[in-house]
């Protein structure tokens, strides 16, 4: 557990140790197949069920820990925090939701963004955290993504971002959130003009405005197995068009067959595969 403590102390990120569907005691129950195993074994297996191979959702701190070289991550968030610009009214206020998400994750918003190394190669690295309002993209997430792209250009680094943003664009920020779709896409144009690669890694789940903007614009688009990826969820699409959807619709495997992503990579192989891709892209 020293790795977890190192992340918490150095970067203010709290690892995902409380996965709601598998409990928080010494035992862990797979949310997919229901098999029970020891939590220490579950964590050693990168939060992947050894029985059914289901890839459980990870927090941003765990993405940092599993992907980057030990203690090479340096945050660039500069204390950016979302504000209730619209004074959103609902069953629960936006301010209350933000406070709850910050308490749960020890993050100011849904993205961890910074510089680090993957097998000795420096990268600009980001990861959204599904525990923070479903990893949705508001003004802060959009700004952090742009700052990552700018840092990559300034230091001639590749950009690698993991998305797990089932919330898409954050409705509590209205047009301020939707603006981030254009803002992040424009940042990637500048990255491309600088001749630098963007590797987009889509995890469970990558939806809405995130998929409709930067997540789908990678020079290389990777997905974890059986991740749900798309703009609108299948239930809403089915209700809208009043038709049965194809088997596996919006899964990683479906998108790979239809040419929307480049590859599916198991979590246990992700770090090595990323290192290999960056070697080919950067030389």
CATH of the domain at 159: 3.90.226.10
Residue 24 has pLDDT above 60, yes or no: no
Tell me whether strands 198-202 and 206-207 are parallel, antiparallel or unpaired.
unpaired
Kindly report which listed range (10-14, 33-37, 110-114) carries the lowest average pLDDT score: 10-14
Indicate if 39 and 8 belong to the same structural domain. no
- Same-domain pairing of 49 and 186: no
Does residue 49 sit in the same domain as residue 66?
no
Q: Which residue has the tokens 């246990």?
A: 268
The reported pLDDT for the residue numbered 91 is 86
Q: Are residues 66 and 36 in the same domain?
A: no
pLDDT band at 283 (very low <50, low <70, confident <90, very high): confident
pLDDT in tens, 214-260: 999 999 999 999 999 999 888 889 888 988 888 899 999 999 999 99
Structural domain boundaries, residue 164: 2-13+57-282
pLDDT-wise least confident of 3-17, 158-172, 189-203: 3-17
Contacts of 142 (CB under 8 A, 6+ apart): 177, 179, 180, 183, 184
50-100 pLDDT tens trace: 999 999 999 999 999 999 999 999 999 889 999 999 999 888 999 999 999
Q: Where are the beta strands (DSSP E) in 213-279?
A: 220-223, 229-230, 263-264
**Secondary structure element (H or E) that encloses residue 28, with its range:** strand 27-29
């Amino acid at each position: 557990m020293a790795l977890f403590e190192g992340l918490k102390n150095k970067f203010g990120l709290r690892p995902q140790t409380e996965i709601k569907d598998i409990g928080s005691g010494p035992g862990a129950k797979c949310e997919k197949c229901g098999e029970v195993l020891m939590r220490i074994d579950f964590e050693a297996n990168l939060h992947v069920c050894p029985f059914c191979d289901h890839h459980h959702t990870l927090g941003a701190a765990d993405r940092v820990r599993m992907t980057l070289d030990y203690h090479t991550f340096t945050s660039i968030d500069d204390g950016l925090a979302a504000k209730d610009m619209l004074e959103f009214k609902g069953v629960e206020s936006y301010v209350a939701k933000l406070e709850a998400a910050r308490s749960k994750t020890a993050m100011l918003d849904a993205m961890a963004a910074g510089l680090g190394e993957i097998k000795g190669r420096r990268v600009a690295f980001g990861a959204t955290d599904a525990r923070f309002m479903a990893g949705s993209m508001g003004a802060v997430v959009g700004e952090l993504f742009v700052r990552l792209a700018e840092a990559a250009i300034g230091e001639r680094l590749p950009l690698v971002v993991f998305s797990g943003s089932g919330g898409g664009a954050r409705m509590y920020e209205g047009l301020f959130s939707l603006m981030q779709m254009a803002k992040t896409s424009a940042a990637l144009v500048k990255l491309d003009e600088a001749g630098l690669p963007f590797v987009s890694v889509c995890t469970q789940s990558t939806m809405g405005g995130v998929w409709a903007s930067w997540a789908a614009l990678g020079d290389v688009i990777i997905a974890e197995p059986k991740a749900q990826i798309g703009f609108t969820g299948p239930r809403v699409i089915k209700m809208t068009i009043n038709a049965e959807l194809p088997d596996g619709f919006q899964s990683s495997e479906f998108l790979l067959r239809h040419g929307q992503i480049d590859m599916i990579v198991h979590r246990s192989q992700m770090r090595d595969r990323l290192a290999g891709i960056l070697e080919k892209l950067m030389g």
